[in-house]
């Protein structure tokens, strides 16, 4: 192809039965993008975090390295490395309907090179319904290190399984 890079992801998950018939879950993901020539990797391939599948207290694809455009606007370009960890406790609320509640804590960052900076984290709650149409998730996250321009909370809806 026309792109000259390798993109690697390492993912580890741990599930442990807990009290009240709940499940304690840990998801860890490391990512690395390595160029094979002097060409930059496409922005679409770089790592950006935020959203229901990563840092749930932030808007989708809003976390990662930025650059300033010629007009002075901050543009998210993403990183060539990423670290993400999700910790959650999921417990059944209405067993007959397949409705569960979840409490979570997320931590992670997308960054360039070996310099790990601007690590972000959030906490939140959510509901999951394992419906006949597939798993439906509604989750509300609260950034613990909110910056200027970021919302106090982010509510997200998805038709996708948890990690």
- Cα dihedral 33, 73, 55, 146 in deg (nearest 10): 140
Q: Is the pLDDT of residue 101 over 80?
A: yes
**From CA 17, how far away is CA 39, in angstroms rounded?**
47
Q: Is the pLDDT of residue 69 over 90?
A: no
Could you tell me what percent of the chain has a pLDDT over 70? 99
Average pLDDT over residues 90-94: 96
pLDDT reported for residue 162: 84
pLDDT reported for residue 111: 93
Comparing 9 with 116, the larger pLDDT belongs to: 9
pLDDT reported for residue 107: 98
Contacts of residue 126, Cβ cutoff 8 Å, sequence gap at least 6: 56, 101, 102, 104, 137, 138, 139, 140
pLDDT reported for residue 144: 96
90-94, 129-133, 154-158: which range is least confident on average? 129-133
């Amino acid at each position: 192809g026309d792109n000259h890079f390798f993109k690697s992801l390492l993912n580890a998950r741990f599930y442990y039965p807990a009290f009240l018939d709940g499940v304690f879950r840990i998801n860890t993901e490391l990512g690395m993008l390595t160029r094979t020539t002097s060409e930059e990797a496409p922005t679409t391939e770089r790592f950006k975090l935020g959203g229901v599948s990563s840092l749930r207290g932030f808007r989708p694809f809003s976390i990662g390295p930025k650059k300033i455009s010629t007009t002075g606007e901050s543009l998210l370009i993403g990183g060539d490395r990423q670290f993400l960890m999700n910790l959650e406790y999921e417990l059944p609320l209405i067993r007959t309907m397949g409705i569960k509640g979840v409490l979570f804590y997320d931590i992670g960052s997308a960054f360039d090179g070996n310099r790990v900076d601007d690590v972000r984290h959030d906490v939140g709650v959510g509901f999951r319904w394992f419906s006949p149409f597939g798993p439906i998730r509604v989750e509300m996250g609260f950034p613990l290190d909110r910056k200027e321009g970021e919302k106090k909370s982010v509510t997200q809806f998805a038709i996708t399984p948890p990690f």
